[in-house]
Amino acid sequence: MLPLPALLRALTSGELSPTDHVDDVLARLERDETGCVITLDADRARERAAELTASAARGERMGPLHGVAVGIKDLIDVAGLPTRCGSRLLADAPPAAADAAVVALLRAAGAVVVGKLHTHEFAYGPVGDTAATGPCRNPHDLSRITGGSSSGSAAAVAAGHLPLAVGTDTGASVRTPAALCGVAGLKPRRGAIPGAGVFPLAESFDTVGLLATDAASLAVARAALGGPGPANPGAVRVGIAGGGWWRPHEPVLADAVRTAADALAGLDHTVSEVDTPGVAELAATYPVITGAEAYATHRDWYATRRDEYQTATAQRLAPHAEAPAHTYVDARRARRRLASALVEHLRGRADVLVCPTTRLRATPIGADTVPTPAGDVAVRPSLLETTSPFNLTDLPVVALPVPVPGLPAGIQLVGVTVGEAELLGLAGALERALR
């Protein structure tokens, strides 16, 4: 699949019609081997593509994404399709009455919604292996996980099925699957892309984000959703996150960070190591806050239909039945205090923070732990603890693949003093330098 800028040039020049593009996308999705497709909306997509092809022929463009096929994580409402959230509990969900806000914005920009994509059940996990339809498989190695919870969005883009997919990110869920599948992901600040019509995981952190082949594509898509276009940040202070928290379990992931740091230094940015005081304590508040909020949402189903959850989901919900309110209040207070202190510390030292997206690359499906030279390590925290700090601090992040041998590796570019626009500009320059 062409990156979005090139695809849009082809669609705009008439070299490629919306109909040809959407037919191609639908054919790829029908042949998919990853399990990323949950519901295809083929008839409506072809119909819309035909309208857009006709209007393009009259020289009329609906918007900046005229004719671009897009897939939607099945946690997000698309009018006329069920929102099943990867769960047997919603196997018989009725068609959604209305588009979620982000879907409406995409349609208004001329995008063609082709269907719903795999999610880790109720978005409650960074793995992508837990869903009513089974695991989503990594296009780079079908025996391995995609990461989650926007598993299908990452797999569909990585497999070349789609130029753009919508995901959500509560603690990891855009960036971790982007990293494990080798695509780019944008986690904006919470609320920057509107969240109406998205099934909640944890309201303190739920964020709508985007996945695409590269940062240049993310920049085009973000601008089409009413966000800022990419901006040149000028020479910035790049901080490389230092300390044990950020040390990956696979050396190749540290290599990826170093590669990015060298490329950024070559682009005349100042690069230095920065520490992140309190990050472990900050990250420890995440499961407490998220668990309480998720349990409150699921309580009634959990009481009456527990067997219909996937086992892993039921096990994650269970401890939150009895968790006391004052512990949740404590976690919220600690989060606020530690996040403010960390952001203030970082602002004094860096405009952009660079760190690995995950501590492991894609692991075998079904493995809760994996062996490393330093001993067995748990998969789930390795896919969450390096991403959740930026939900806790609510900083914008672009997750970017960095070329390494073998399975994909990803880094995060975190906007400390810069916003999405500068971050997307910097990420675009970095990926050009890395090519």
Tell me the catalytic residues.
73, 149, 173
76 binds a second copy (CB under 8 A): no
Question: Which of 115, 121, 128 is CA-nearest to residue 85?
Answer: 121
Q: Which of 329, 341, 403, 406 binds a second copy (CB under 8 A)?
A: 329
322 binds a second copy (CB under 8 A): yes
Q: Which of 203, 255, 308, 394 binds a second copy (CB under 8 A)?
A: 203
Q: Which stretch binds a second copy (CB under 8 A): 4-12, 121-129, 157-165, 314-322?
A: 314-322
333 binds a second copy (CB under 8 A): yes
Only one residue has tokens 């926007």, namely 150
Only one residue has tokens 């949950």, namely 38
Alpha-carbon span 261 to 272, nearest angstrom: 9
Query: Please, what is the minimum distance in Å from the beta carbon of residue 93 to a second copy?
Result: 21
Query: Please, what is the minimum distance in Å from the beta carbon of residue 336 to a second copy?
Result: 9
Query: Please, what is the minimum distance in Å from the beta carbon of residue 288 to a second copy?
Result: 8
H or E element at residue 256: helix 251-266
Q: Which of 13, 43, 94, 325 binds a second copy (CB under 8 A)?
A: 325
Query: Please, what is the minimum distance in Å from the beta carbon of residue 292 to a second copy?
Result: 4
Considering beta carbons, is residue 337 or 380 the nearer one to a second copy? 337
> If 0-12 CB within 10 Å is exposed, 13-18 middle and 19+ buried, where does residue 143 land?
exposed
Q: Which residues contact 316 (CB under 8 A, 6 or more apart)?
A: 124, 125, 291, 294
Angle of CA points 356, 245, 255, to nearest 5°: 35
Coil vs helix vs strand at 271: strand
Q: What is the total count of residues that contact a second copy (CB under 8 A)?
A: 19
303 binds a second copy (CB under 8 A): no
The order of strands in the sheet holding 69-73 is: 37-40, 112-117, 69-73, 164-168, 208-212, 184-187, 397-402, 409-415, 352-356, 237-241, 270-274
**258: Cα separation from own chain's centroid:** 23
295 binds a second copy (CB under 8 A): yes
Q: Are 400 and 184 in contact (CB under 8 A)?
A: yes
Alpha-carbon span 411 to 302, nearest angstrom: 36
Only one residue has tokens 């952009």, namely 352
Coil vs helix vs strand at 322: coil
201 binds a second copy (CB under 8 A): no
Considering beta carbons, is residue 143 or 327 the nearer one to a second copy? 327
Task: Name which of residues 275 to 294 contact a second copy (CB under 8 A).
Answer: 291-293
Alpha-carbon span 175 to 162, nearest angstrom: 17
Query: Please, what is the minimum distance in Å from the beta carbon of residue 394 to a second copy?
Result: 18
299 binds a second copy (CB under 8 A): yes
206 binds a second copy (CB under 8 A): no
Considering beta carbons, is residue 46 or 306 the nearer one to a second copy? 306
Considering beta carbons, is residue 146 or 170 the nearer one to a second copy? 170
Query: Please, what is the minimum distance in Å from the beta carbon of residue 235 to a second copy?
Result: 37
296 binds a second copy (CB under 8 A): yes
Query: Please, what is the minimum distance in Å from the beta carbon of residue 320 to a second copy?
Result: 7
Assigned token pair, 58: 């009259």
Question: Which of 138, 135, 133 is CA-nearest to residue 159?
Answer: 138
Considering beta carbons, is residue 9 or 305 the nearer one to a second copy? 305
Considering beta carbons, is residue 200 or 419 the nearer one to a second copy? 200
Q: Residues interacting with a second copy, by CB under 8 A?
A: 203, 291-293, 295-296, 299, 320-330, 333
